[in-house]
Structure 1
Amino acid sequence: MIIKYLTYSISITFISWMVGMIVNAFLSKKESYKKLSNLNLIKSETINKRIGLKAFKWIVKNTFFKYFNPKLKFKKKVEITDLNEIRKEMTFAEISHFIGFGFVTFFVVAKLIKGNIIFGLIFMIVNVVMNLYPSLLQQENKRRIDRLIKNYREHQ
């Protein structure tokens, strides 16, 4: 039964990635999108460490997940335009995952309302790992990119 719940949760979460990208493509054309691009849920490095974001980052960098978004790679020699483009891609990935997180949360709530607590909990754990953590990781990476952009501009 647990395997069935896990399989279903992973499937819906993968679908949520596509939903997130489609909805985000429409949102990115709106004026208010700039506000979303500077969203920061957790600013504290200490909290990020405590929730396991460092371990999650290692998993993303050292497993097959590193192939999911090849646009988020640095070249050997990085220019300011590269940094801005990478930041833009990170923002798109971050917001897409947040949208996916919201999409899956509707399914979680439906399972909880129906009284299927175990299914809802498994679903939410999968959602956190596959949507929320990637968003938080992108936010952390964007803060690092912002520091690089600031340093680049100061030394020009």
Structure 2
Amino acid sequence: MSNWKRIFETAFRDFEGVDELEMEFSFYAPASIVDIRGIEDSKGVKLTEELKGIFLEFNGISVKEKYWGRKNLYLPISEVIEDVEDYIKNSGNPTPPETELNSVVFFAQQNGYAVLYGMCCQPFGEFKVGQVLALDHETGEFEVESENLEEFVGNSWHCGLS
């Protein structure tokens, strides 16, 4: 088992004990180098080594909860490129400037994209490469969620969908 899976599984076990949602998760198959290049070309940035490592270890995580069914917690690259970008453009919610959006590669979500989590891959404003940022759909603003990917993946709070 690889490092990112182990970190997530440990956090997930901590989260499972908090709630009685009868949650279960499954990792998607790893992304390919072609998939990685596709998202980098789409966004016009290079992925950080950490985010690339996650995608090469698993290309998303699906979580099933008792009341909400199965949804993607960590997003596959295809969903990031197609669905997330479409949601941001067409949701009617406030959005940050395109230069900021193109500096962040989203990889996780909560509550139907109400909160999108992304890796800062190009610095902007006060944000540094390697920080995990949250984009709130109500404000259209980024804020630092975690200083690095390992901290984010290892935090059990991020294991829930709602």
Q: TM-score, normalised by structure 1?
A: 0.22
Which structure has more relative contact order (CA 8 Å, sep 6+)? It is 1
More strand per residue: 2
More helix per residue: 1
Q: Which has the larger radius of gyration?
A: 1
